[in-house]
Amino acid sequence: IRMEAWYEEDESRSKREKRMVFFIVAIALIVFAACVTLSLVVGILTSFDEIVYEDPVDPPFYQSITQSALNNHLQQFETIAAQYSNSRSVNNGYNASVEYVKSQLQNNTNYNVYQQHFTITEMIYSSSSLQQVSPVVQNYEEGSDYSIIENSPSGSVDNVPVFPIDASGCFISHFDGFIAGRVALIQESNLCLLEIAVANAEQSGAVLVLVHSDIKSSKPYSGELSSTTSNNIPVLGINYLLGTDLSSALEPNISATVVGEEQTSYTSNLIAETASGSSDSIIIIGSHLDSVPAGPGINDNGSGSAVNLELAIQTYQQALALENQIRFAWWGAEELGLLGSEFYVNSLTPQEKSKIRVNLNYDMLASSNYIRGVYNGSQADPPITKSCTKIAQIYEEFFLDQNLKYQFTPFNGRSDYGPFLEANITAGGLKTGSNGMKTVAERTSFGGLAQAIYDPCYHQACDTLENVNQEILMENAQAAANILQVLASQADLNSYLAE
């Protein structure tokens, strides 16, 4: 009996202990479930609070620019050139290029799109010749040995000595010791506009100017004078080998002729203005749309024009908030001496000029042997030195954020920002190089080939889509989109640029 009582008591105690364990586990599970539920509720409320009270983070505007869109525009420019003697110059495919850009703007934006017409005068050449007559007799071929500089005056020289100038001719002092009545042989340079060097040569008594390419290339120097130039003597570009021969020869004499006449024609700028943003504070984004007669100009300057067009389209498509009005411009006749942008700036009244806060210029953004160049705003003259420097810093900061190397390039007015600088309007922009030669240091920074031309197809028939460096095109397009957004969002753009 005692043993049975003990087993009954032990079994009862075991049941009580099991119930206690079960109770404790149940309580623990209930507490755990309550904590999980509370955590979820808090998370949901927090998320709801973020949705209701915090703005969503939009992707940056520059990500709206796509490679495919840019290439589509470039392909259209190339197709147009193919229909007009492989050129989009003012007398070939330029007007068709204008119509393409205009149709894109009208179909994809609500902008005020209009053309600004103007007349141009350019030289049309019928013949030329160049011969060395002593100490050896040698006939030279146009296109391979020499080329007529665009807008060179007509003229001729017969059996005239060549006087080599071991400099660019950008300063009158470069012609110290020059003998009047001779041919001036000067070196290619980016230090000044060519008409300045030619004017110095003419003032020193030169009867003809030869511009010696500084590139070890078989192609002659191809530059241009402004169609409004006051130069009166013929100007020819010669290749590196011919320039070296004439510089080293013992008193070489040459004969040359340039025969041409002026032709007046009509062209236009294309302008598109945003419907929003203050019309008292205007940002002008410009690129020249024309090419030279010799080629389709897909890098020069289909690249800048395509970027400008896509910026305009995406500004509208992305409903970018604009405190300042954007005026997109495609300039005509840049290749004849910045004529379109010059006409535009000169047509502005003082009041209209005062409303323009900044001009951004995009010219040759995709050279195959590129540098990643930012115009050096600190080289601008007062009173816009500080604001031009600010523009350069915005590009600089973007490239630094993207871990991309860049370099500052001369701000010498040799593209369509030039007329704006002359009017004391803040300016800036990007470039990748034209007919200059890449240095060893630049090759270290940007890759490519040292001692080779930035754009080997500059002003040539091979400046096609295949000549475009896709990587630098996209990077520059995104840098252009970034600065557009930065500037367009400033409530007081003048004060921002003065910081």
Residue 50 confidence class, pLDDT cut points 50, 70, 90: very low
Task: Indicate whether 335 and 249 sit together in one domain.
Answer: no
Asked if residue 320 and residue 256 are part of one domain, the reply reads: no
Task: Tell me the chain's radius of gyration from C-alpha atoms.
Answer: 33
For residue 154, being part of any structural domain is answered with yes
Scan for tokens 């915005």, then name that residue. Answer: 394
**Summary mean pLDDT of the chain:** 91
Percent of the chain clearing pLDDT 70 (strictly above) = 88
pLDDT of the residue at 228: 75
What is the Cα–Cα distance from 316 to 312, expressed in whole angstroms? 7
In a domain, 409, yes or no: yes
**Gap between the Cα atoms of 484 and 478, Å rounded:** 10
The model's confidence at residue 193, banded by pLDDT at 50, 70 and 90, is confident
Label residue 342 by pLDDT band (50, 70, 90): very high
Q: How many domains does the chain have?
A: 2
Give yes or no for a contact between 335 and 286, defined as CB atoms under 8 angstroms apart. Answer: no
Specify the pLDDT at position 38.
Answer: 54
Q: Is there a domain that residue 446 lies in?
A: yes
Which CATH number belongs to the domain containing residue 457 in this structure? 3.40.630.10
CATH number at 139 reads 3.50.30.30
Domain that holds residue 341: 61-111+274-497
Based on the fold, state whether residues 309 and 446 are members of the same structural domain. Answer: yes
Q: So which residues are the catalytic ones?
A: 334
- Is the domain of 106 the same as that of 134? no
Q: Answer yes or no: are the C-beta atoms of 146 and 170 closer than 8 Å.
A: no
Please check whether residue 323 is in contact with residue 488, taking contact to mean a CB–CB distance below 8 angstroms: yes
Average pLDDT over residues 209-221: 85
Is the pLDDT confidence value at 219 over 70?
A: yes
Residues 461 and 323 in one domain: yes
Residues 343 and 308 in one domain: yes
- Write down the pTM of the prediction: 0.81
pLDDT for residue 79 is more than 90: yes
- Same domain as 301, residue 370: yes
Shared-domain flag, residues 329 and 457 = yes
Which of 73-77, 122-126, 256-260, 369-373 comes out lowest in average pLDDT? 122-126
The verdict on 245 and 283 lying in the same domain is no
Q: Return the sign of the alpha-carbon dihedral for residues 245, 246, 248, 251.
A: positive
**pLDDT computed for residue 3 by the predictor:** 46
pLDDT at 449 over 70: yes
- How confident is the model at residue 328, as a pLDDT? 99
Same-domain status, 97 and 189: no
Lowest mean pLDDT among 40-54, 361-375, 453-467: 40-54
Collapsing DSSP to helix, strand or coil, 134 comes out as: strand
Residue 1 in domain: no
